[in-house]
Amino acid sequence: MAIKQISVFLENSPGKLDEMTKILADAGITLRALSLAETKDFGIVRIIVDNVIETATILKEHAYISSMTPVVAVMVPDIAGGLNKVLAALTSASVNLEYMYSALAGGKGGNAYMILRVEDIKKAEKALRSAGFRLVEKFPD
């Protein structure tokens, strides 16, 4: 049930993220989640999109260096301690969390969505389901 995340390597200079997102917007690609990590010379943009194959093709056509990675998307109740319960489920199953970032937020009483990159996806999915969490295959439109 893992979803695909696309990581794009960008030069760390003004306008590069704007350029990339404009190309995707012009192609009708909808971003569902985005994380940006940077170093002095380059950045890594991690994105969840509505059409992974089309996005990867468009990025390649525009000479972007990118890769696809399986990640787990989990719905987290928007309450105090909601995220901690996700982390506790992973810890109990001895699942290493490499990184995470949020996707969409539902507001008070709604849900938040977290994207999790873990060492063992199957083990993480089993632990989260056992703890009562809903995994997300596709984000709502």
Per-residue pLDDT of 34-82, as tens digits, reads: 998 877 788 899 999 988 999 999 999 999 999 999 999 998 887 888 8
Q: For domain 3-70, say whether CATH 3.30.2130.10 is its number.
A: yes
What the block records as the tokens of 92 is 């109990």
β-bridge mates for residue 11, sequence order: 42
CATH T-level assignment (fold) for domain 71-135: Alpha-Beta Plaits (3.30.70)
Percent of the chain residues past pLDDT 90, beyond the cut: 60
Percent of the chain residues past pLDDT 70, beyond the cut: 93
Could you give the CA distance from residue 23 to residue 18 in angstroms, rounded to a whole number?
9
> What type of residue is 16?
K
Which pairing describes strands 65-77 and 42-49: parallel, antiparallel, or unpaired? unpaired
What residues does each domain of the chain span?
Answer: 3-70, 71-135
Q: Where would I find the H helices in 1-141? A: 16-26, 52-61, 82-92, 121-130
> What type of residue is 100?
M
> What type of residue is 45?
V
pLDDT the model gives residue 107: 47
Mean pLDDT of 6-10: 93
pLDDT tens, residue by residue, 72-93: 999 888 788 888 999 999 999 9
pLDDT bin (cut points 50, 70, 90) of residue 103 is confident
